[in-house]
Structure 1
Amino acid sequence: MSIPKEPRQLMINLMYLVLTALLALNVSAEILQAFTLVNKGIGNTNTILSEKNNQIVTGIQGKADEGEDPRAKEISADAANIQKVTADFYTYVEYVKDSLINYTGGLIEDKHHKGEMKLKGESDTERPTTLLINKKMASELKGKIEEVRIEYVKLLQKWNGEGKVSQLTLNIDEEQAKARHLSWEEFNFYKVPTVAAVTILTKIQNDAKSAESTVLEHMASQIDAAKIKFDRMTAMVTAPTSYVKRGNEYTADIFIAASSEQAQIDVYLGSFTSAVEKDEFGVFKEIESADIPLNNPQKVDVAGGMGKIKEIASSTRQFQGVISLPDPIKPGMFKFYPFEFGYETFEVGEAVVSPTAMNVLYIGVDNPVKISVPGYTSDKVNASGCGIQKVKGEEYVARPSAPGIDKINVTVNTGDGTKSHSAEFRVRRIPDPYPYCGTSKGGTMRIGEFKQVNSITAKNPDFVFDINYSVSGFEMVYAPARGGNVVSDVSNTKNFSSLMDDIKKKAKPGDTIVFPRISVKMPDGTTRQLSLSFKLIG
C-alpha cells in the first residue's frame, strides 16, 4: 500500500487498517459502527480529492490556452481522458456497492441517529460472500482495478513519470492474501460483514482518486518543465585583462547575470570533440546528447548554481568545457553549453640571464625558444626569422635552414604602436654522431658481444638534443690476427649481410674489425660518413 501525503488521508488509512484487523477477531456493534464512520470519512475525502483534481485539470487547461508550451494541449487532452477513466471506474464501483446494499436488504432508518440511514444487513456475512465471491463480482472488480491502473501507468511513462508509478495507490496487493493461502477476492470479501465490504469498496474508490491525483500532479509539473527558473540575479564585471600598462586604455563589460540554484547543472573541463560547433557569429551552439562532448572530461565543483575553478597559476593555461543540464523532457538526455577561456602569467621583477656566448641554433631540429616582453601579454608579441613558429604563450620553436648568422626579430603591440627588437644567433649543423657496434664505439670489443650484434647504430649522448640517427649503409673489413685472408663486404642497410654473419662466426680474439665507411642520414637532410674499428678480445 502506498503511503498518502495528506494527513487526513493517512489517518483514514490507519483507521481502516485497524478496523480490518479487529474484524478478524470480533464483529461487535461497536466495530460495525466504526466501519460506518470510516466509510463516511473516506467518502468525504473522495469529494475533496475530486475538487483538487478538477482544479489541477483547470490549471492545465489554462496553460494549454496560453499556448507557450506546445505540449500543454496534449497534456490537457490526456488529463481530461484520465479523469474520464477514473469517473467510469468510480461509477462502476458505486454500482457494485449499490448491488451489495440491495442484495443485503437495502437501507433502513438508523434508530440511534435520527434522520440518518444505515444498512439493514450491516452485520450479514453470508450474502456479501454469495454476491462478491460465489457470483464472481469481486473477480470482475479486480480486473477493472488492473485495467485502470494500466491506464495510469501508461500516462506516467508517457510523461517521464516512471518514478511515480510506485506511488499509485490503486493496485492489487496480493502478498497478505497469499500469506494466508487466499485469493485477493477471498482476503477482502469472504465472510466479511456488509458494512465492511461497503467500506472496502469506498476505499477502492479513494485509491482511484488518489492515484488520479498523482498522475495529474505529475503531468502538470511537466508543463514549462524545460524552462530554467532563475532565482538569483548578480552584478558581474568582465574585462579582457586586469593588468594594464600605465597610459593604456582599460575596458570592461558590466551586466546582470542570472543563475539558478534549482537547476541541477554539472560543469566539466576537457577538450572539445567534433560535436562542438559555433554559429556564423562565432557563438557556441547548444548541444543535445546523452554523451559529454569532451575528450577526457573532468568534473568541476558546483556551488550556488555556478562552477568553481581554483588552482595555482602556472605559465599559460587554456580551458575548454561544457555546462551540462538534464533534459526534463527526454530522460537520459542532456543539454550541453560549451565554453572556453584561459589565462597567462607573468613574473614581476624577475631577473633575465642570457648566455650570450651560447646563442646557437641547430639545423634540422626544433630549437625551443622563450620570448617575452615585460609588461605585455604574449598575445601582443610576435616573432619572425630563423624559421620561428609560436607553440603557445611565450613558447616558440626555431627551425633555421642554413648555417651562418641569423636573427630572431620580436615585435610588440604597445597599444600606441609597435616596438621591435632583434637577437642574433649562430646557426650550426648538428655535430657528427658516434658509430656503435653493440656498445663499442672503437678500441676493443668482447668476442661474445660481437657475435650477438646484428647491426650498426649511431648516437650522440653528449649532444643537447635527443636525435634518432639513421644508418643507411656501411662497409666492413675483417683482418685475422694470424695472417689469414682479409675479407670485406658492403651492406646497404644498417643490418649485417650474410657474409658478415659468417665473419662473426669465424672471428676469434685478436682479430681486427674495421668499418671504414658508415653512412648516416641526419635530420638536416645531409648524409655523414663515419668510421669505426676495434680489436676483439676474449
Structure 2
Amino acid sequence: LNTTFDFSDQLDDGSTISWEQSKFEHYPLISVLTFLTKMQSDIRTSEANVIDYLQANIGKSDLKFTGVRTVVMPKSTYVTQGGEYEADVFLAAFDDTQEPTVIINGEELAAEDIIGGVAKVRFPANKVGETKWNGEIRLTQNGEEKIFAVEGMFNVAPPSVVISPTKMNVLYRGVDNPLEVSVPGVDPSKLIVTGTGVKKSGKGYIADVTRNRGGELKISVAVKDGEVTKNMGNKVFRVKNLPDAAGSVFGKTDGIMSANLIKKAKVEAKFVNFDFELPLTVESFQIIISPFAPMECKGPSLSSNAKAALDKAKPGTTVIIRNIKARTAKGMKPKVAAITIDLN
C-alpha cells in the first residue's frame, strides 16, 4: 500500500516537485483521466487485498482443538465427618491430532506418559510434609509454539494405624507422658493439639499432668487449613498418681545381711516394672532395731544412733526400714514399701 499510494514529493531534473505537479501539470486531460482511472482500480484492488488479509488472520492466534472432556478437580478426596466436599467441575478442550510437550521440574515427560493430551505425573513420596512442583506445557499451533506454566503441590503423611488399648489410656502425674498425634492426609505442621499441660516436643507432644487434680484430661486436635481451623475431635485420658515404689539396700528389699554391711548402706527407692525411667531421691526414713525405739534418719544414710544400735544388736534380730520418704524431680512423693533385713 505504501508503494502503490506514495504521495510524497518527486525529483524532476534535479529539482523537487510535488506529487500533484508530477502527475497532473502540463499533461493533457485524457492522460489525467487515464491516471485517475488507474488509481480507482488500484484502490479497489487494495481493498480486496486488505479484506483477504484480514480474513486469513481471523482466529490465527486462537488454539485449535478437536474435542472436549469433563474434568472434576476436588480440593481433597479425603473429607472428615462434618466437613464439606468441594470440587471444580468444567470442560477441558484437547487436540488429539498432536501431543503437547510437558516439562516437569526441568525434565521432559516421555511420550508414553502423554495420552490424548493428558500427561501422567508421578513423584516418589519419600519425604514427609509438603512438596511443591512446577513445569510447563508446550503446544505448537499455526506454526507458533505456545507455552503454558503449570504448578502444583501435595502433602505426604507417614503410614499410620490407630490401635488403642481402651483400658490403658492413662497419663501419670510426675512424668512427661509422650504422645504421638496424627491425622491421616494432613501435614503434621498444620496440627493444633490442645489440653492442660500438653505441649510440642520434637516431632511429637508431651503431657505433663502433675498439676491436674482431677481424674481425667481431654486432649483436642484441630487442623489449620489456610484461614480456617477445623476441629478433628478429642480423646479423654485417665489421670493417675505414680505407682508405689520399692525400698532397698544394696539392691535387696529383704534377706539376711551383717550389721556392718547395713551400717554402710544407703537406702534407695525405685519404681519396679514401671514404663518410665523416673529416679527417686530418698529424703528420710525410719529404722527399727529391736529392742530399741524407732529412730528417724535424714537422707539415705543411717544416723549415728542407728549405727550404734546395730553394734549392739544380736544375730537373728530383724531390722525394719520403713516410712521411706522419697520424691521425684517434679516433687511427687510416691508410697515406698518397707525393707526387712535379718542380721546374721
CA-to-aligned-CA distance 1:93-131 (integer Å, 9 cap, x gap): xxxxxxxxxxxxxxxxxxxxxxxxxxxxxxxxxxxxxxx
Which residue of 2 is the match for residue 359 of structure 1? 169
**d(CA) in 1 for partners of 2:128, 2:317:** 58
How far did 1:409 drift?
0.7
SS in 2 for 1:527: coil
Which residue of 2 is the match for residue 477 of structure 1? 288
Give 2:331's match in structure 1, choosing from 496, 515, 525.
Answer: 525
Say if 2:228 is the partner of 1:417.
yes
1:443-454 equivalent positions in 2, closer than 5 A? 444-447=255-258, 450-451=261-262, 453-454=264-265
Tell me: CA distance 1:507–1:313, structure 2 relative to 1, closer, same or farther (3 Å): farther
Q: Unaligned stretches of 5+ in structure 1?
A: 1-243, 257-311, 317-343, 480-484
**d(CA) in 2 for partners of 1:520, 1:528:** 7
**d(CA) in 2 for partners of 1:473, 1:449:** 21
Give 2:158's match in structure 1, choosing from 325, 332, 347.
Answer: 347
Higher strand share: 2
SS in 2 for 1:396: strand
**d(CA) in 2 for partners of 1:355, 1:531:** 29
**d(CA) in 1 for partners of 2:87, 2:289:** 76
Tell me: CA distance 1:356–1:255, structure 2 relative to 1, closer, same or farther (3 Å): closer
Say if 2:251 is the partner of 1:439.
yes
Which residue of 1 is the match for residue 194 of structure 2? 384
Counting aligned pairs with the same residue, the percent is 27
Tell me: CA distance 1:511–1:383, structure 2 relative to 1, closer, same or farther (3 Å): same
Give 1:407's match in structure 2, choosing from 213, 218, 224.
Answer: 218
Which residue of 1 is the match for residue 342 of structure 2? 536
Higher helix share: 1
How far did 1:362 drift?
0.8
Which residue of 1 is the match for residue 238 of structure 2? 426
SS in 2 for 1:501: helix
Aligned partner of 1:471: which letter? V
SS in 2 for 1:458: strand
SS in 2 for 1:499: helix
**d(CA) in 2 for partners of 1:315, 1:519:** 48
How far did 1:387 drift?
0.8
Displaced runs of 4 or more, over 6 A: none
**d(CA) in 2 for partners of 1:392, 1:245:** 28
How far did 1:499 drift?
2.0
CA-to-aligned-CA distance 1:70-89 (integer Å, 9 cap, x gap): xxxxxxxxxxxxxxxxxxxx
Structure 1 contact 438–453 (Cα < 8 Å) conserved: no
CA-to-aligned-CA distance 1:26-52 (integer Å, 9 cap, x gap): xxxxxxxxxxxxxxxxxxxxxxxxxxx
How far did 1:527 drift?
3.3
How far did 1:452 drift?
5.9
Aligned partner of 2:322: which letter? P
SS in 2 for 1:408: strand
Q: Unaligned stretches of 5+ in structure 2?
A: 1-74, 78-85, 89-103, 107-124, 130-154
Aligned partner of 1:434: which letter? A
- Greater relative contact order, per chain length (Cα 8 Å cut-off, separation 6+): 2
**d(CA) in 2 for partners of 1:519, 1:438:** 18
Say if 2:304 is the partner of 1:462.
no
| Equivalent residue pairs, number | 203
Tell me: CA distance 1:369–1:529, structure 2 relative to 1, closer, same or farther (3 Å): closer
Say if 2:206 is the partner of 1:397.
yes
**d(CA) in 2 for partners of 1:487, 1:345:** 69
Aligned partner of 2:194: which letter? S
Tell me: CA distance 1:446–1:314, structure 2 relative to 1, closer, same or farther (3 Å): farther
SS in 1 for 2:265: coil
Structure 2 contact 199–207 (Cα < 8 Å) conserved: yes
